[in-house]
Chains A and B, each alone.
Chain A
Amino acid sequence: MKKDYKKVLVIGSGPIVIGQAAEFDFSGTQACRSLREEGYKTVLVNSNPATIQTDTETADAVYIEPLNAETVAKIIEKEGIDGVVSGMGGQTGLNICSELAENGTLDRLNCELIGTQPDAIAKSEDRELFKEAMIKIGEPIPKSASVNSIDEALQAVREIGTYPVLIRPAFTLGGTGGGIAYNEEELKEITAHGLAYSRIHQVLIEESVLGWKEIEFEVMRDSNDSCIIICNMENIDPMGIHTGESIVCAPILTLSEKDVDKLRNSAIKVMRELNIEGGCNVQFAFNPANGDYRLIEVNPRVSRSSALASKATGYPIARVSMKIGLGYTLDEIPNKVTGTTMSAFEPSVDYVVLKIARWPFDKFRTVDRHLGTQMKSTGETMAIGRSFEEALLKGLRSLEIGVNGLDRFDVLDKDIEGLLKNATDQRIFVMGEALRRGWTPEKIAELSHWDVFFIRKLRNIINMEYKIKAGLTPEVLKEAKLMGFSDESIAELCGGEPMDIRAARKKQGLIPVYKMVDTCAGEFEAKTPYFYSTYKGKQSESVKVEDKKKVVIVGGGPIRIGQGIEFDYCCVHGVMALQEEGVDAVIVNNNPETVSTDFDMSDRLYFEPLALGDVLNVIEAEDADGVICQYGGQTSVNLAVDLEKALKGTKTKILGTTPDDMDVAEDRRRFSKLMDELNINQPASGTGYSFEEAKQIAEEIGYPVIVRPSYVLGGRAMEIVYSTEDLRMYVESAVKVSRNHPILIDKYLTDAIEIDVDCVSDGEDVYVGGILEHVEYAGCHSGDATMVMPPKMIGQDTVEEILDITKRVALALHIKGLMNLQLAVKGKDIYMIEANPRASRTVPFISKATGIQMAKIATKIMLGKKLKDFGLTGYKQLDHYAVKEVVFPFLKLPGVDSILTPEMKSTGEVMGIDEDFYAACYKAQVAAGCNYPVESGGVYITVNDNDKERILPSAQALDELGFTIYATKGTAKYLIENGVPAATLYKVSENMAPNAMSAMREGRIQMIINTPTQKSGAIRDGAAMRRLAVELQIPIVTTVQGAEMTVGAIKVARHGNTRVRSLTEFHRLVN
C-alpha cells in the first residue's frame, strides 16, 4: 500500500570523501527515479555539483546547498515537504535525519521520515542500544563497552580481559578515528582520537576477532516482515581490515550451506528485532575453525556494500528500498530485470564477483600504507568472471595502477614475511611474488589469515605464468585466456606485442563471449542489458542490434584522486545525449559505485577492465559505429590513440576531436609550436634529459620553476623548486631522469591568477560555458583550488582576451566536443598553461551553475550537430555566484602535508551558489566542512612580506568583528603600526614563548591565515603547524583573496539569514 506524501525530500551525501564516495550518487539517483515513477513530487539536496544526482532532471527541485540540519530544515519549510528519505545519503544523510528528529524539527514541520525510523537508526547505530537488542534475541556480539573517556576505556579492557582490542567511534563515516590497540599506550592514543571524531563523543572498546573471516549479508525487509537476502559476500582479507579496504568476493565461496544458513538466519533475526524496513547491511565475524560467529555491525541504510551488491547481482537495492519506504511490499514491486517476476526473491548468481579497493598512495608517497579498521581507499573496482582467477585478473587490471594482472613486484626476500603479515595495498602482489619465490600457499595463508583456498588460486595464476614463459603454444595460449590472462600480460611474459597476441588468439578462435547478469542464474528469461566477458564458454548473450547506430562510451574506472565522480557524470550525460539522438549508448566501465554502471542507464552495459584489449573486444562484439574517449578522464583519453590505430580500416570511428589533434594538445612540442603560431604566451619551459641539463634550463628560465616527469597523471610528482639545491633533491629523490624519461621544466609564475575555461566547439563556433578564477595562486593544482565563477579579480578586458584565446585554440585544435584550458593571468599578460581536449573536472560544476549541459551538447556535436542548432555561441555572464570548494583526506591519511602544491590531493568538491558573493563563499565553506569561527575566537596571521599590506583590510575586519588577532613577529609589527591590535606568537623554530603550536593546542586559535613565503625550505617549516591544524580541525587560509572571502563569509554567518534556492531558480536568473 502506497503512502501519501505531498512532497518528498531526498538527502544526498555531499562531497566525495574517503568512506563515502560515488555509491550514494548511484543510490540517491535511483531513489529519486523510483519516487518519480510513483508520481511523487521529489526534491533533492546535495552540496556536490559533480554528481548526476544534482542534475535538474533528477528531481522536481534540486538544491545545491550545504548538508546540515539547518539548511535541510529551511528546504523542508520552503518546499512544504512532508516526507524525508533517511537512508540514501550515507552516514551524512542519516545523521542529519537523526538530528532533525531529535531536535523536534520534523514534528514541528509535520514531516515524516521515510524508510528506516529514528528508533531503528538509534538501535543500530548506538552501540549500547545495539548490544542490548542483540542480547535480547540471543545473537552473539563481541564483548565490548561504550566509553566516553580514556579511563573508562582502560576499565573496559580489564573487563574484556586481553589485548588486542578494537576501538570504533560511534556515528562516523568509514570508521574514521578507529583502530586496533595492542597495548595500553596505543589504547589511550586511539581512544582520544576516536572520541574527537564521534558526533556523540563515544567510542566502543571491543573484543578482538582479528583473523576471523568477515562475512556480509545485504538484507531487504518490508512492512509485511518479509525478509530476503540480496547477496552474501566474503571478505577475503580477514577481520581487522575495514570491509571498504578488503578484497571482497560475492557470493561466499568457502562456507558450507549450514554455516551460510546460520548466518543468514541471524541476519534476518537482527533485521526483525531492529525493525528495519528497506535495505540493510549486516556484517559478521566468522571463525571457520569452530563455527563461532559474532555480529559486528548493522548499517540500516543503503551503503557502499549495497551498491556493490546491486551491481554484483543486478538487484536494484536502492530502488526497492525506496519503494518499501513508500509502503510497498516486496511482492508488489516488479523485478525490472526479468520484467515478469517480482522483487520478492533471492538473487542467484552464476559467476564470481570481486571488489578491489583503489588507494591514493600513488599520490601520497609519505602516507603509511598499512590497512586497518580505518578506510584509506578512495574508490573501488569490480570484476566479474566465471572463475576466481578470471575475476581477479580482471579486477587487478581495472585498478589503473599500471598492472596487467598479478604482476611482478619489487620486494626484498627479508621483507616478504612482514608484508604478508601486516596488510598494505600491495599485499596481493607480495603474495604473488612470494609464490614465485617458492613460498607455500599454506605459509602465506598462515601469515595473512587468508583462506588458503584463495592463495592456491593465486598459485594457479603463477603456474600459468611459468607455462607462458616456457613457450606460448596454442594450447598454452588457450589455457591462459581461459584463466583470464590479458593479451597485455601474456605479451609481457613472453616478450611479444599485445596486438600480436591478440591477432594470434583471434586466429585460434579465442574470443570472449559475453554473459548476462540476470539476478537468477538463467532460471528466468531476463531483459537486463548487463554483460561481462569470459573465455569460458561458447555462447554469447549480448545481442547485436543491427539496425541502430551504436556508440561505445569508455568510462573512467575506479575513483581516485585526480579522477573523480565528475567523469562518471560526463559519461552518463554522454549516454543520455546519444539516446536522445536515437543512438544506442554502450558503456564500458568497472566502477560498481557509479550511476554509469546502473544497468538501466545505458542501452548495454559491459562491466570490464578499461585496458585496450578489453575495450577493443567490446567494440568488436558490438560492431560499434563510434567510440567516445573524451568523457572517462585520463583513463579513456590514454586509450584514444591506440584505439584509433587498432580500429583503422573498420567502420568504428573515434568520435569528436581526432586523436591526432588530441595529441597536439598533449604533446608539449607540438603544442608549443601551435601556441607560437597563434601568438599566445606560454611560460618559458624546457626539457632536461639529465640533472645538468635541467639545471641549465632552470637557470636560464629563472627560479622558481615547476618540474615534473614527462609522463604525468594528475600532477603526480610535480613540484615547485626554488633553487638548484631543491632541483637536485627532486631529481635524486622523486624521479629518475634519463634519456627515456626526461623531466619537464616550466617557469613558475609567482602571484599569477590561474583561470580554468571550459568550452564546446563544433569546429566552426565556440561556446564558452564558464570562466573559473582560482583563489589560490598558480602552482596549486586546479583540482585543489577554490574557484569562483564568474571571475572577480580579473577585469572585463582580460575576460574578453581569454574568450578570444579560447576560440582561437579550439578552432586551431579542430575541437569537436569539449575542451578545457588552464591559463595564468599575471598583470596584463595571459599565459597558456595547458589545453585539455576532453571533458574536464569542472564541466559538471559549470553546467550546474549555468543550466547549460555542456557534456550533452558536446556529445550531439560529436554526432554531427552544430552549436547553432542549440542557439549557443560566445559566452554568457552569470548574474549569481558559484564558488567551488574542495575537501581533503588529510584527517584520514596521517603523514600527508596539507599544503597545496601542483599535486592534487583533494577527493571531492562542493558548490556554494548564491546571488551574493559572500553568501556563496559561506555556503561553499560550510558544505566543505570548514569550521570557521563565527562568533569569537583567535585568528593567527602569518603572511609573507608581499602580502602584509594586502592582508590589512581582512585583519581590520576581523578585529572589528571582535576576533583576537595573533601574528608572527613581523606581521604583528606591521598590523600594530597600522592600527590593528595583534599579540605576537613565535614560530616553533624561534624557540621563544608563547609559540603558535602551543596556542593552538590550548584552544586559543580558531583560524589560521598563512600565506607561505615562496622560497626554498619555507614550505617544510610550516609542515608541523599544518599537521596540527588538521588534527585539531583548525581551518587554514593560504591566500589574501581567500582571507577576504572568509571574512565575508563570517559576516554572512553572523547575519544567519542565507536563503536556499533551487538550481532552476538560479538558472532563471541567467536567462
Chain B
Amino acid sequence: MTGGYLVLENGTVFDGELFGADIEKAGEVVFSTGGVDGYQEMITNPSNKGKILVLTYPLVGNYGVSDQFNESDRVHVSGIVVCEVCSEPSPYYNGALLADFMAEKGAVGIQGVDTRELTLLLRKNGKMKGKIVKEGVDIDKVVKSLKDEAIDMSVKDVSPKQVTKINNGKEVTVGVIDCGSGFGFYEALAERFNVIKFPYDTKADAILKEGVKGVIVSNGPGCPCDKCLEPTVEIVRELTSKLPVMGVSLGSEILAIALGAKLEPMKLGHHGCNQPVKINGRICMTTQSQDYCIVPSSVEAAGIIITQTNLNDEVIEGFAHKEKSVCGFEYNPEGGTGQGDTVFLYDDFLNLIKGASQ
C-alpha cells in the first residue's frame, strides 16, 4: 500500500495508507455513524455521489463485498476514510475484498486515519471539501485548489436515461422520478406497486400519459437547489395538483420547494442509520443522508404541515400538504436494507392513492 493524505479545505491533513484505485479524488467530506455493516450499500448508493465518506466504525470491510449488497453497479462516493480496512474478511458471504472492489470500480480509500478525531473536527466545523491524495504532493497546492474545486454531485449523471416499466403484478402503478436511487428502494416499491421509472427531467404530461396513479420523487445526490433540478421542481409542482405525490430524501426536498417552502443547508446533516423520528407517537429509526432541511418559518405559506421531526435536533423529517395528497420524508422509508422501521410509509402512500382514486 502507498502512503497518502486526506487534505481538507481548511488545511487540516490526515495521513494514512491508500487503498482501492490508484487515483486522487476530491469530494465533500461527511461522516456516517453506521458502517460496521452496510458499507457496500453506502458506497454504491447514487445518493452519495461526490462524497468522501468518513466511516466512524474503525473496522470496515469485515465481511467483504458481494453483489447482493450493491445499491447500483457503480461506486458513487468519491472516496472513503477509515481507521482500518479489512484484508481478511469473514468468508460467509463469499466476498471479495472491499479494497479490490473499490479498485475495480475506480474509487479510492484511505486507512489508518483517526476517524474519531476527523469526525469531531467535522462536527465542530461542519462538512468541508477534501481530497484524498498520494504521498509527496504539495499539500498547500491541494488546499488552494480545493477552494475552487467543484464537486460533481449532479443528479444528471445518476438519473436513468430512459423510461423503464417494471410490472410486479400489483394493482397500482406508480411513477418514480428517479434522481439517483438504489436497488433497495425499488425492491421495497416492488412489494407494493408496479413501477415506471422516469428520468429526472421527464415532463409531467409524459408521466401522466403512462396512467400512473401516483408519483414518488426519489432520493439522489447533491443540493435540491441545484440548477439542473429546476425543471424537476416545475414538473413536481404540476404533478402535485393532479395526483398523489410522495417525496423521499432529495425527492422530499424537491417536493417542498415545489410547494413553496424554503430550504437551508444543515451544518452537518444527518448521516447514519440511527436517526430517531417520531411517527404517530412511536419512535422509528431511520437511515438518512440529509444535508438540507426545510426552514420551519416557510411551512405555513407553503400550505404544508409538519408530520415528523428528528428527536435529536427537531429538524423537519416529514410533512404533508393541507389539501393536496402529498407527503414527503427526509429519508428513504425502506432504510438501508429495505427492512427499516418506516417501510410502512409506502403502504400509507398506497392507501393514499387508493383513497384518492375512489
B window 23-43: CB within 8 A of A: 31, 33-34, 36-38, 41
A1032 at the interface (CB under 8 A from B): no
Q: Complex formed: what's the CA distance from A536 to B115 in Å?
A: 10
- CB atoms of B58 and A352 under 8 A apart: yes
* Candidates A227, A251, A254, A341; contact of B312 at CB < 8 Å: A341
- CB atoms of B285 and A522 under 8 A apart: no
B59 at the interface (CB under 8 A from A): yes
Return the CB mask of A514-551 against B: 1 if under 8 Å, else 0. Answer: 01000011111100000000001111010000000000
Beyond A536-B83, A537-B114, whether A453 also contacts B90 by CB under 8 A is yes
A window 554-608: CB within 8 A of B: none
Q: Complex formed: what's the CA distance from A255 to B89 in Å?
A: 11
Interface segment, one of B3-11, B158-166, B204-212, B331-339: B331-339
A288 at the interface (CB under 8 A from B): yes
Task: Tell me which residues across on chain A come within 8 A of B83, comparing CB atoms.
Answer: 386-387, 536
Interface segment, one of B61-69, B148-156, B227-235: B61-69
A345 at the interface (CB under 8 A from B): yes
Write the chain A residue with the least CB distance to B92. Answer: A288
Write the chain A residue with the least CB distance to B274. Answer: A346
Q: Complex formed: what's the CA distance from A180 to B62 in Å?
A: 32
- CB atoms of B90 and A522 under 8 A apart: no
- CB atoms of A228 and B283 under 8 A apart: yes
B218 at the interface (CB under 8 A from A): no
Q: Complex formed: what's the CA distance from A262 to B312 in Å?
A: 26
Return the CB mask of B276-303 against A: 1 if under 8 Å, else 0. Answer: 1010011111000000000000000000
Beyond A522-B31, A524-B312, whether A224 also contacts B282 by CB under 8 A is yes
Beyond A350-B57, A388-B59, whether A252 also contacts B282 by CB under 8 A is no
A152 at the interface (CB under 8 A from B): no
Write the chain B residue with the least CB distance to A350. Answer: B56
Write the chain B residue with the least CB distance to A290. Answer: B92
Task: Tell me which residues across on chain B come within 8 A of A341, comparing CB atoms.
Answer: 311-312
- CB atoms of B114 and A453 under 8 A apart: no
Beyond A258-B337, A261-B335, A539-B117, whether A348 also contacts B56 by CB under 8 A is yes
Task: Tell me which residues across on chain A come within 8 A of B135, comparing CB atoms.
Answer: none
A256 at the interface (CB under 8 A from B): yes
Write the chain B residue with the least CB distance to A348. Answer: B33
Return the CB mask of A249-273 against B: 1 if under 8 Å, else 0. Answer: 0011111111011101100100000
Write the chain B residue with the least CB distance to A520. Answer: B33
Write the chain A residue with the least CB distance to B339. Answer: A261
B91 at the interface (CB under 8 A from A): yes
* Candidates A226, A258, A348, A352; contact of B282 at CB < 8 Å: A226
- CB atoms of B117 and A350 under 8 A apart: no
| Cβ distance A205 to chain B, nearest Cβ, rounded Å | 29
A312 at the interface (CB under 8 A from B): no
Task: Tell me which residues across on chain B come within 8 A of A347, comparing CB atoms.
Answer: 274
A window 315-361: CB within 8 A of B: 330-331, 340-342, 344-352
Return the CB mask of B83-102 against A: 1 if under 8 Å, else 0. Answer: 11000111111000000000
* Candidates B63, B281, B285, B335; contact of A256 at CB < 8 Å: B63
- CB atoms of A331 and B311 under 8 A apart: yes
- CB atoms of A345 and B120 under 8 A apart: no
B251 at the interface (CB under 8 A from A): no
Task: Tell me which residues across on chain B come within 8 A of A536, comparing CB atoms.
Answer: 58, 83, 114
A427 at the interface (CB under 8 A from B): no
Task: Tell me which residues across on chain B come within 8 A of A256, comparing CB atoms.
Answer: 37-38, 63, 66, 69, 93
| Cβ distance B347 to chain A, nearest Cβ, rounded Å | 16
- CB atoms of A352 and B274 under 8 A apart: no
Task: Tell me which residues across on chain A come within 8 A of B335, comparing CB atoms.
Answer: 261
- B contacts with A, residue count (CB < 8 A): 49
Q: Complex formed: what's the CA distance from A551 to B57 in Å?
A: 33
- CB atoms of B62 and A224 under 8 A apart: no
Q: Complex formed: what's the CA distance from A351 to B36 in Å?
A: 10
* Candidates A330, A456, A524; contact of B88 at CB < 8 Å: A456
Task: Tell me which residues across on chain A come within 8 A of B66, comparing CB atoms.
Answer: 256
Task: Tell me which residues across on chain A come within 8 A of B283, comparing CB atoms.
Answer: 224, 226-228, 330-331, 344
- CB atoms of A515 and B116 under 8 A apart: yes
Write the chain B residue with the least CB distance to A344. Answer: B283
Write the chain A residue with the least CB distance to B120. Answer: A522
A712 at the interface (CB under 8 A from B): no
Beyond A386-B83, A453-B62, A537-B117, whether A254 also contacts B92 by CB under 8 A is yes
B47 at the interface (CB under 8 A from A): no
A225 at the interface (CB under 8 A from B): yes
* Candidates B38, B63, B115, B276; contact of A254 at CB < 8 Å: B63
Q: Complex formed: what's the CA distance from A253 to B272 in Å?
A: 17
Beyond A331-B283, A453-B62, whether A521 also contacts B119 by CB under 8 A is yes
Task: Tell me which residues across on chain B come within 8 A of A346, comparing CB atoms.
Answer: 273-274, 276, 285
Q: Complex formed: what's the CA distance from A350 to B58 in Å?
A: 6
Q: Complex formed: what's the CA distance from A341 to B120 in Å?
A: 17
Write the chain B residue with the least CB distance to A251. Answer: B36
A511 at the interface (CB under 8 A from B): no
A464 at the interface (CB under 8 A from B): no
- CB atoms of A258 and B311 under 8 A apart: no
Q: Complex formed: what's the CA distance from A525 to B336 in Å?
A: 25
Beyond A225-B282, A257-B69, A536-B114, whether A252 also contacts B276 by CB under 8 A is no
- CB atoms of B69 and A350 under 8 A apart: no
Q: Complex formed: what's the CA distance from A251 to B123 in Å?
A: 23
Write the chain B residue with the least CB distance to A349. Answer: B57
Task: Tell me which residues across on chain B come within 8 A of A260, comparing CB atoms.
Answer: 37
Q: Complex formed: what's the CA distance from A524 to B123 in Å?
A: 8
* Candidates A225, A289, A342; contact of B92 at CB < 8 Å: A289
Task: Tell me which residues across on chain B come within 8 A of A348, comparing CB atoms.
Answer: 33-34, 56-57, 272, 274
A window 449-487: CB within 8 A of B: 451-453, 456
| Cβ distance A533 to chain B, nearest Cβ, rounded Å | 13
- CB atoms of B62 and A522 under 8 A apart: no
* Candidates A289, A521, A524; contact of B56 at CB < 8 Å: A521
* Candidates B33, B93, B339; contact of A521 at CB < 8 Å: B33
- CB atoms of A254 and B62 under 8 A apart: yes
Return the CB mask of A216-260 against B: 1 if under 8 Å, else 0. Answer: 000000001111110000000000000000000001111111101
- CB atoms of B56 and A522 under 8 A apart: yes
- CB atoms of B68 and A258 under 8 A apart: yes
Task: Tell me which residues across on chain B come within 8 A of A520, comparing CB atoms.
Answer: 33
- CB atoms of B33 and A387 under 8 A apart: no
Task: Tell me which residues across on chain B come within 8 A of A342, comparing CB atoms.
Answer: 276, 311-312
Write the chain A residue with the least CB distance to B83. Answer: A386
- CB atoms of B282 and A522 under 8 A apart: no
Q: Complex formed: what's the CA distance from A849 to B64 in Å?
A: 59
Write the chain B residue with the least CB distance to A457. Answer: B88
Q: Complex formed: what's the CA distance from A981 to B335 in Å?
A: 79
Task: Tell me which residues across on chain B come within 8 A of A541, comparing CB atoms.
Answer: 120
| Cβ distance B211 to chain A, nearest Cβ, rounded Å | 34
- CB atoms of A521 and B57 under 8 A apart: yes
* Candidates A225, A253, A350; contact of B116 at CB < 8 Å: A350
For the complex of A and B, the 8 pairs showing the least CB-CB separation, nearest first, are A257-B38, A226-B283, A288-B92, A537-B114, A254-B90, A522-B119, A346-B274, A453-B90
Can you sample 24 A-B contacts with CB below 8 Å? Answer: A226-B284, A253-B36, A253-B90, A254-B90, A257-B38, A257-B41, A257-B69, A258-B69, A261-B340, A342-B276, A344-B278, A346-B273, A348-B34, A350-B56, A350-B57, A351-B58, A386-B58, A452-B91, A453-B63, A523-B56, A523-B272, A538-B114, A538-B117, A539-B120
Given A226-B284, A228-B276, A387-B84: 15 more A-B contacts, CB < 8 Å: A224-B283, A226-B283, A254-B92, A264-B339, A265-B339, A288-B92, A345-B285, A345-B311, A348-B274, A522-B33, A522-B120, A523-B56, A525-B123, A536-B83, A539-B116
Residues of B that sit less than 8 Å from A by CB: 31, 33-34, 36-38, 41, 56-59, 62-63, 66, 68-69, 83-84, 88-93, 114-117, 119-120, 123, 272-274, 276, 278, 281-285, 311-312, 335-337, 339-341
Residues of A that sit less than 8 Å from B by CB: 224-229, 251-258, 260-262, 264-265, 268, 288-289, 330-331, 340-342, 344-352, 386-388, 451-453, 456, 515, 520-525, 536-539, 541
